[in-house]
């Protein structure tokens, strides 16, 4: 696999002490706003400003189909992917509700759905192919398809940055994609595969056992041909086009010094992959929630991440990122608008 041409550097920490001092001088006890304080400092560092602000916030939902879905790794039929994309375009899904409520511009990306949508308002056609191959029998995608998906994702983020967007949330839709995320998480964290597999869209015990057996079969096939744990190889082997395109979009967004709002388990598998390719990407990422899906805790631990919310969510679509955005906005607002001890004439502690 070839190397990627992204220049992602960690934010300059030159203003970190000034940001910390600005937070500490607010009219509150030291550390009293908890994780919001760390988030405010992180965003100040990303933007290299003591008064950061968000411009044109976007949420991107990447959709793709998985060949392995037809083998039975999900409780739902593959047709649900394109039907849910139609639901997004009609404004009727959970992500539409939360994005509207919280002022996030929503864009849906067809990364590789097995359906022809035609030209539609709100849909970006970046389709690589009509779904991936079945990784239980062969690699999900070729190295070329994987590279193409990454490049198209990066282009989407760069276009947003050119148009003044500096904060972007990530979501996804793809029947079977928790299975892909489980395999990616296992390969990149070394956690036992069984600990990375959950019920996804609601498998019963028999369905969960079948999913585990199918994923073990896929993994054994990959290992038998000398498959490595190198992130691009793993992504091409087991990923979906929506996951690969998210990897590219994250790399492009971090390169443009945007704030990345990371959703749950499937978006987390893309973030884990992107961070293995460019470790500094983690410093641009705000981890929005802890998913109820098995394996997400392993991703968060591997990334050293402390998420903002823990609501037992397992819907995907970027819903956790959309729900957390008001908290991220609050961290910036208190930094910019809250009085200091000096400006308010409030006595500091002795």
53 annotated active-site? no
The pLDDT, as a whole number, for residue 181 is 98
Q: How far apart are CA 267 and CA 53, in angstroms?
A: 24
Report the mean per-residue pLDDT for the chain: 96
**Cα 144 versus chain centre, distance:** 23
Q: Residues 172, 237, 255, 317: which is the catalytic one?
A: 317
Tell me if 13-52+335-344 shares its fold with 58-329. no
Give the CA angle between residues 98, 101, 104 to the nearest 5°.
75
Is the confidence at residue 350, as pLDDT, over 90? no
| The CATH number, out of the four listed (3.40.50.1820, 1.10.760.10, 1.10.1450.10, 1.10.1610.10), of the domain defined by the range 13-52+335-344 | 1.10.1610.10
Mean pLDDT of 4-31: 96
Question: Tens digits of per-residue pLDDT, 116-133?
Answer: 999 999 999 999 999 999
**Cα 114 versus chain centre, distance:** 22
Query: Are residues 263 and 236 in contact, defined by beta-carbon separation less than 8 angstroms?
Result: no
List helix spans (H) across the chain: 16-24, 35-47, 79-90, 94-101, 143-162, 177-189, 193-196, 205-224, 231-238, 241-255, 265-277, 296-303, 319-337, 341-344
CATH of domain 58-329: 3.40.50.10210
Report how many helices (DSSP H) and strands (DSSP E) the chain contains, helices first: 14, 6
Whether the pTM exceeds 0.95: the reply is yes
Joined together, the tokens standing for residue 106 give 């929503």
Question: Tens digits of per-residue pLDDT, 51-74?
Answer: 999 999 999 999 999 999 988 888
The pLDDT, as a whole number, for residue 3 is 53
Q: Comparing C-alpha atoms, which of 338, 327, 295, 288 is closest to residue 309?
A: 288
Question: Tens digits of per-residue pLDDT, 162-204?
Answer: 999 999 999 999 999 999 999 999 999 999 999 999 888 788 9
Question: Tens digits of per-residue pLDDT, 68-101?
Answer: 998 888 889 999 999 999 999 999 999 999 999 9
The pLDDT, as a whole number, for residue 296 is 97
Q: How far apart are CA 195 and CA 181, in angstroms?
A: 12
Is the confidence at residue 1, as pLDDT, over 50? no
Domain boundaries, the chain: 13-52+335-344, 58-329
Q: How far apart are CA 166 and CA 280, in angstroms?
A: 17
Give the CA angle between residues 36, 42, 47 to the nearest 5°.
125
The pLDDT, as a whole number, for residue 93 is 98
The pLDDT, as a whole number, for residue 349 is 74
Mean pLDDT of 39-50: 98
Question: Tens digits of per-residue pLDDT, 226-277?
Answer: 999 999 999 999 999 999 999 999 999 999 999 999 999 999 999 999 999 9
What CA–CA distances, in Å, run from 323 to 27, 71, 167, 312, 320? 27, 33, 14, 13, 5
Q: How far apart are CA 275 and CA 189, in angstroms?
A: 12
Contacts of 87 (CB under 8 A, 6+ apart): 93
Q: How far apart are CA 251 and CA 5, in angstroms?
A: 10
């Amino acid at each position: 696999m070839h190397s990627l041409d992204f220049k992602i550097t960690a934010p300059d920490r030159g203003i970190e002490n000034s940001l910390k001092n600005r937070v500490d001088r607010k009219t509150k006890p030291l550390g009293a706003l908890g994780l919001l304080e760390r988030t405010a400092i992180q965003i100040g560092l990303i933007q290299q400003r003591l008064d950061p602000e968000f411009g044109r916030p976007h949420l991107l939902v990447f959709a793709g189909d998985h060949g392995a879905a037809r083998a039975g790794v999900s409780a739902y039929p593959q047709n649900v992917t394109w039907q849910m994309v139609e639901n997004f375009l009609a404004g009727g899904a959970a992500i539409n509700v939360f994005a509207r409520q919280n002022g996030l511009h929503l864009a849906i990306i067809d990364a590789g759905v097995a359906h022809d949508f035609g030209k539609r308002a709100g849909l970006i056609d970046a389709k690589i192919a009509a779904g991936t191959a079945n990784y239980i029998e062969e690699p999900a995608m070729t190295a070329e398809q994987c590279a193409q998906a990454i490049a198209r994702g990066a282009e989407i983020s760069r276009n947003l940055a050119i148009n003044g967007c500096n904060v972007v949330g990530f979501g996804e839709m793809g029947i079977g994609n928790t299975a892909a995320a489980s395999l990616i998480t296992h390969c990149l964290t070394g956690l036992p595969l069984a600990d990375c597999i959950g019920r996804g869209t609601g498998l019963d015990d028999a369905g969960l056992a079948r999913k585990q057996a199918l994923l073990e079969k896929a993994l054994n096939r990959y290992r038998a041909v000398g498959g490595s744990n190198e992130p691009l190889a793993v992504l091409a082997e087991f990923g979906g086009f929506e996951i690969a395109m998210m990897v590219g979009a994250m790399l492009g967004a971090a390169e443009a010094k945007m704030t990345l709002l990371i959703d749950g388990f499937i978006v987390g598998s893309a973030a884990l992959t992107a961070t293995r390719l460019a470790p500094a990407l983690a410093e641009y990422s705000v981890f929005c929630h802890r998913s109820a899906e098995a394996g997400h805790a392993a991703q968060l631990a591997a990334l050293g991440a402390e998420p903002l919310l823990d609501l037992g969510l397992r819907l995907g679509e970027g819903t956790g990122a959309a729900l957390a955005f008001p908290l991220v906005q609050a961290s910036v607002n208190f930094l910019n608008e809250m009085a200091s001890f000096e400006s308010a004439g409030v006595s500091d502690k002795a």
